[in-house]
Amino acid sequence: MGIVLLLTPSLLLGVSFVVLMAAVHYQASEERRIWSHIGLSFATVYLTLIGIVYFVQLVLVLPRIMRGELEGIEFLVFVPFDSFLYAVDILGYSFMSLSTLFAAMAFTGDGLERIVRRFMIANGLILPFLVFQMYFHPLIWIASLWAITFPGSTISLWLLFKRKVPKLNRFGAV
């Protein structure tokens, strides 16, 4: 049951990330929107890939593991560094990194925009460590900086969006 607690939020993260990148796209200035559009496109690929991985694990692999019936689906079992779906997962997170790297170019301002841009670029620069960990496993430790760069990106974006949204009074007016 622990795998359900691990994979369900991961699946929801994919959906949330695409929504976040759509918000980035619509807040971007017209002249910078190409960058956010590229970021949104890569976010969609990320969701597609990791969605397949986690959905297959939850609805196909897990029930079979629980019944002890793995024959014929061994290649679908998620094994870090050594399985088909782990490779697909790594490819998905590589597209997430590309998404943040390109979307970062939509932010050109100082202050909070600079913080957003730096966190998103840092998240994007994790890309080679994600990809090459399949060949050199210790790179996962550098790739794990994602646990800082991704939350930093999302929190700083939240703060930026919160600042840009007009305050509503109790009657829904600005």
Contact 139, 129 (CB under 8 A): yes
Are the C-beta atoms of residues 21 and 99 closer than 8 Å to each other? yes
Residue type, 140: I
pLDDT one-digit tens code per residue, 12-65: 999 999 999 999 999 999 999 999 999 999 999 999 999 999 999 999 999 999
- Are the C-beta atoms of 32 and 108 separated by less than 8 Å? yes
Give the per-residue pLDDT at 37: 98
Q: Which amino acid is at 22?
A: A
Indicate the domain borders of the chain.
Answer: 2-159
pLDDT category at 4 given cuts 50, 70, 90 is confident
Q: H helices of 28-72, where?
A: 33-56, 62-67
- What pTM, to 2 d.p., does this model score? 0.89
